[in-house]
Structure 1
Amino acid sequence: MNEKLIYGIQQIGIGVENADVAFKWYATILGADALIFDDYNEATYMAKYMGGKSRKKRALLAMNLQGGAGYEIWQYADRKPSKPTHEFKIGDLGINFPCLKTRNIEKTYDRLQNLQQNIISKIVVEPDLSKCFYIKDPFNNILKIKEFSSFYTNNKGELGGVFSAVLGVSNIENSLKLYADILGYDNVIYDKTACFDDLSALNNGDKKFRRILLSHSKERVGGFSKLLGNSQIELIQAIENTPNKIFENRFWGDLGYIHLCFDISNMKILVEECKEKKLPFQVLSAPSFDMGDANGHWGYIEDADGTLIEFIETHKVPLIKKLGIYINLKNRNPKKSLPNWMLKGMSLKRVKKFKI
Structure 2
Amino acid sequence: MNALISGIQQVGIGVPNANDAFTWYRKTLGLNVPIFNDEADAKLMTCYTSGEVRRRHAIMALNMAGGGGVEIWQYKNRIPVEPTFEPVLGDLGIFSIKIKCLDVPTFYTQLSSKEKKSALGASPENRKQFWLRDFRNNILQIVPNDSWFRPNGHLTGGVCGAVIGVSDMDKAITFYAGTLQIDQIVYDKTGTFEDFAFLGVEKQRFRRVLLRKTLGKVGAFGKLLGGIEIELVQALDRTPRKIFEDRDWGDAGFIHLCFDALDMDALKNQCQANGFPFTVDSADSFDMGEAAGRFSYVEDPDGTLIEFVETHKVPIVKKLGIYLNLKKRKKQTHLPDWMVATLGWGKVKD
TM-score by length of 2: 0.97
Report the residue type matching 2:123 in the other structure: E
2:258 aligned with 1:245: no
2:160 aligned with 1:163: yes
SS in 2 for 1:351: coil
2:284 aligned with 1:287: yes
Looking at structure 2, the residues matched to 324 and 195 of structure 1 have their Cα atoms a distance apart, in angstroms, of: 54
Partner of 1:117: 115
List aligned pairs for 1:204-353, cutoff 5 A. 204-216=201-213, 219-352=216-349
List aligned pairs for 1:43-58, cutoff 5 A. 43-58=42-57
Structure 1 window deviating more from structure 2 (324-333 vs 6-15): it is: 324-333
Looking at structure 2, the residues matched to 202 and 98 of structure 1 have their Cα atoms a distance apart, in angstroms, of: 14
Looking at structure 2, the residues matched to 80 and 203 of structure 1 have their Cα atoms a distance apart, in angstroms, of: 29
SS in 1 for 2:292: strand
User: Post-superposition, which runs of at least 4 consecutive aligned residues in structure 1 deviate over 6 A?
Assistant: none
Partner of 1:154: 151
1:101–1:147 contact (8 Å) kept in structure 2: yes
List aligned pairs for 1:136-215, cutoff 5 A. 136-215=133-212
**Deviation at 1:217?**
6.2
Looking at structure 1, the residues matched to 62 and 317 of structure 2 have their Cα atoms a distance apart, in angstroms, of: 16
Looking at structure 2, the residues matched to 234 and 90 of structure 1 have their Cα atoms a distance apart, in angstroms, of: 12
2:73 aligned with 1:74: yes
Partner of 1:135: 132
SS in 1 for 2:50: coil
Percent identity, please: 46
Do the aligned partners of residues 332 and 249 (structure 1) sit closer, same or farther apart at CA in structure 2, a change above 3 Å counting? same
Looking at structure 2, the residues matched to 348 and 214 of structure 1 have their Cα atoms a distance apart, in angstroms, of: 34
Do the aligned partners of residues 220 and 167 (structure 1) sit closer, same or farther apart at CA in structure 2, a change above 3 Å counting? farther
Looking at structure 2, the residues matched to 222 and 146 of structure 1 have their Cα atoms a distance apart, in angstroms, of: 24
Structure 1 window deviating more from structure 2 (217-226 vs 280-289): it is: 217-226
2:98–2:143 contact (8 Å) kept in structure 1: yes
SS in 1 for 2:338: helix
List aligned pairs for 1:26-105, cutoff 5 A. 26-105=25-104
**Deviation at 1:103?**
1.1
SS in 2 for 1:200: helix
Report the residue type matching 1:49 in the other structure: Y
**Deviation at 1:218?**
7.4
SS in 1 for 2:210: strand
2:49–2:249 contact (8 Å) kept in structure 1: yes
Report the residue type matching 1:306 in the other structure: G
Partner of 1:16: 15
SS in 2 for 1:271: helix
Structure 1 window deviating more from structure 2 (2-11 vs 230-239): it is: 2-11
**Deviation at 1:22?**
0.4
TM-score by length of 1: 0.95
Looking at structure 2, the residues matched to 199 and 271 of structure 1 have their Cα atoms a distance apart, in angstroms, of: 36
2:5 aligned with 1:6: yes
Do the aligned partners of residues 3 and 39 (structure 1) sit closer, same or farther apart at CA in structure 2, a change above 3 Å counting? farther
2:98–2:142 contact (8 Å) kept in structure 1: yes
**Deviation at 1:145?**
0.4
SS in 1 for 2:112: helix
Report the residue type matching 1:239 in the other structure: L
Deviation string for 1:225-256 (max 9, x for gaps)? Answer: 00001121110000011111000000000000
2:214–2:227 contact (8 Å) kept in structure 1: no
Do the aligned partners of residues 218 and 155 (structure 1) sit closer, same or farther apart at CA in structure 2, a change above 3 Å counting? closer
Number of corresponding residues: 350
Looking at structure 2, the residues matched to 217 and 111 of structure 1 have their Cα atoms a distance apart, in angstroms, of: 28
Deviation string for 1:303-330 (max 9, x for gaps)? Answer: 0000000000000101012222111111
Looking at structure 1, the residues matched to 217 and 298 of structure 2 have their Cα atoms a distance apart, in angstroms, of: 21
Tell me the C-alpha RMSD between the 2 structures: 1.4
1:178–1:303 contact (8 Å) kept in structure 2: yes
SS in 2 for 1:40: strand
2:96–2:139 contact (8 Å) kept in structure 1: yes
Looking at structure 1, the residues matched to 102 and 269 of structure 2 have their Cα atoms a distance apart, in angstroms, of: 39
Looking at structure 2, the residues matched to 334 and 230 of structure 1 have their Cα atoms a distance apart, in angstroms, of: 20
Do the aligned partners of residues 163 and 220 (structure 1) sit closer, same or farther apart at CA in structure 2, a change above 3 Å counting? farther
SS in 1 for 2:177: helix
